[in-house]
Structure 1
Amino acid sequence: MSYLKLSGLSKAFGKKQVLDGLDLEVRKGECLVVFGGSGSGKTTLLRHIAGVMEPDAGSISLGGQDLGDVGPEARGVAMAFQNFALYPHMTAFENIASPLRARRMGEAEIVNRVQEVARLLRIDHVLSHLPKQLSNGQKQRTSLGRSLVHKPPVILLDDPLRNVDAKIRFEMRLEFPKLFKAFGSTVLYVTQDYREALALGDRIGVLVNGRFQQIDSPSGIYRNPRTREVARLFGDPPINLFEVTPRAGGAGQTVDIGGQTLVLPDARPDLEGQPCVLGVRPEDVVFSTQAAPGAMPVALEAVMPFNVRTITLLKAGSGTEILASRPEDTELAGTRERIPGFAHLSAGRTMFFDRATGARL
C-alpha cells in the first residue's frame, strides 16, 4: 500500500512547466531514488512534499491524510540539502539538536538522541566542532544527522553527496541503506548520479521533463528500460544505439551496422522491415579475433582499462563505433595497434526502440 502519494502534481514557473501532472506512490519504509538531469524537476518535487512550495494543481497525501492545508512544520517531513545548510555559529551538536529544541524536548532526551545519531553516522568525536572546523564529509553527516534525529516519517535528501569527495561518496553509499532501515523512515533521495541511484534505491523513478518515464527496481531500470532515454541515462560506458531495419536472412534475422551484416541472437519477426533503433549494452558486445557464426567483421581501435573491466572501441565497415566492455583483460590492456576481429551480441540482451517516440518495442 502507498504511504506517500502524489496525484497529478503540476508546477510552472512562467512558461516553463517543471512538474507536469506527476503521479507517484511510495511505500512506507521504502527508499525511492528520484533520478534525472539538471532542470528535470527533482528539487521542485521535494519542496512540494516538504510544503515549502505549493502546486498549481494536484494533491499530496501522507498516510492517507491530504497535506493540502498542512504547513511544513506539521508534516513530519525532514529535508537535507546538497549544500549542507548548517548554522555556522553552532557546533555540530547544536546543529543536530536544533529540531529537538524547536520541539521543546527535554535536555536529557536531546543529549541521548544526538549522541545516538552521531554514533551511527560516526561523527560523535566532532560534536563540539563548529562547521568551519569540519571536513565536507563531516558536514554532510551533520546535516543528515539533523534530518534524522527526530525520527521523521519521511526524509527528503536533495543530492546530499554531490559536494563530497569520491571516498566519502563510496562510504556513504554503503552506509545509507543501513541508516535508513535503522530509523525506519520513508526516503526520497534525489541524485544525478546513476551509480548512486542503482546502489541506494529500493526503486528508482526516472524524472524527465516533469514526469516519471519509468519507476522500477534498479535491475528493471538497467535491464528493461521502457524508453531509449532511460536506457541512455544508465551505464558507463553508455549503451550502443544503432538505427537498423531487421530483415530475414539465411543464417537468421540480420541487421546492418556500419555497412556490415550482423546476425541477431534474438530474432524479432514482428520487427522485420520496420525501421527502429537497436540498443546493446557494451558488456553484451563480444569481441574476438576468431570468426564465429553470426559475427560481423570489426576493427579494434582503442583499449581503456576501467577499474576491473576493459573498455574497447570497435569500428564496423564504414566507421560506425561500437563500445564493448569485458572483464579485466591483461592481454588487451597494453594494446595500441589496430586489431582486426569479429563482434557478436550476447543472447537475450538486445533491445529495440521506436525511432520516432523512443518507446521500447
Structure 2
Amino acid sequence: MVSTAQAQVLASATACCIFAAIAMILRKRGGYVVGIAMFFVSCLVTTQLLMSRLSLHYKHPGFVTMLHFGCVWVVSCAYWVPSGFSKWWSIQTSSNRSNEWFLRNIVPLALSNPLTVVFNNTALTYVGAGMCAIVGTLSPVSVAIFSWICGHRLSFVSWNGIFIAFSGALLIAFGEVNAIQVANHSGWYLGVLFALASVGARSLKIVIMDFLMAPTDYQSAASSSPLSPMELYSMQAPWCFVTAVIFAMATESIPAALKHITPETGGLILVTCVSAVALNFAGIFALKELGASSQQIIGKLNTICVAAISMAFLGEQLSRLVLLGSTVVLSGAAVVELGKDSNGDPAKRLGAADDLERAKM
C-alpha cells in the first residue's frame, strides 16, 4: 500500500518527468518554445482540476463559460490600450479585411470555440467523462486530417508520429476508466454524437487558427499575410462571447446562476476565469509555435498530470496503462518533431506577424 507521502512524491516525479520529456523533445526549438509548451500543459491541468472542483458545487456551466469568454475579450482589449483606440477598433472590426474573409474565418471560430465546450459538457451528461476521454483521443488525428484537407502537407514520418500519439492517448483514456457502463443507457448514442461534435468543433477551431497564423504552411494560402496570436484572438473574442451568452441564456437561468453564487463558489469561479484566460492565450501561442498537430499531441499530456495529482491528493489510483499511454504519446510527439526536421520545416514557426508581436512585448 502506497502512503500519502509516497503518492505525493510519485505524483511530483511523474509531472517532472513529463515536463522534462517535453523539454527534451522540443530542445531544438529553443527555450521560448519549451516554456510555452510547458505553460500550456500546466494551464490545461489547472483548468481541468478547477472546473472539476467547481462542478461539484455549482451547476451552471453555461454561465461559467460565458464569464470565461467575457474575460478573454476584456484581456484581449486591454492588450491594445497602449497602441491607441484606432488600432483597437481596426482589430475589433477587422476593418482591413473583406467581409468575405470575416465570414469565412472569424465566424466559424466564433461558433466552434464556445461550441467545443458546449458539446463536451452536453456529452458528459449522457456518457460520462470516461467515454468523452476516449472519443477525445481522436483529436490529434482529426486535426491532422483537417489541416491536410486545407493544404498542409505532413511528411510520412510525421503521420506515423500522429498515429503513435493517438494510440498512446487511447491507452491513457482506457487506463483512466475502470468500467464504462453505458451500453444500456438510452442516451448513449446521443452522448457519443455530442462528444464527436466536440472533437470536430475543436479540430475546426485549431486548424482555422493555425491557417490564419501560419499561412505559408498551407499551400492554398501561401500568399496570405499571417496574423499574430493577439490579433487573431482580439478579432474572434467578442463573437465567441456573444455565442456563449446566447447559449447560456437559452439553456440556463442567468438570475438563478447569480443567485446560487456563494462566497466559496464565487471565489472559485474567479480563479477559473483567471485559469481559463491563461489557457486560451497559452493555447494560441503554443499553436503558433508548434503547429496544429503537435499542439494537440502535447496537450494530451495533461491527462497524466491530472491523474498523478488525483492519485496524490484525492486518493485515486494511477493505472499502469496510463503511464504506458503517456510514454507512447511522448514517443509520438518525438516522431512528429523528427518528421518536421526531415521535411525541412524551420525550427520555429515565426513570421512577420510574430516579429511584430515580439517587438510589442
TM range, smaller chain: under 0.3
Larger relative contact order (CA 8 Å, sep ≥ 6): 2
Q: Which has the higher strand share?
A: 1
Q: TM-score, normalised by structure 2?
A: 0.23
Q: Which has the larger radius of gyration?
A: 1
Q: Which has the higher helix share?
A: 2
Q: TM-score, normalised by structure 1?
A: 0.23
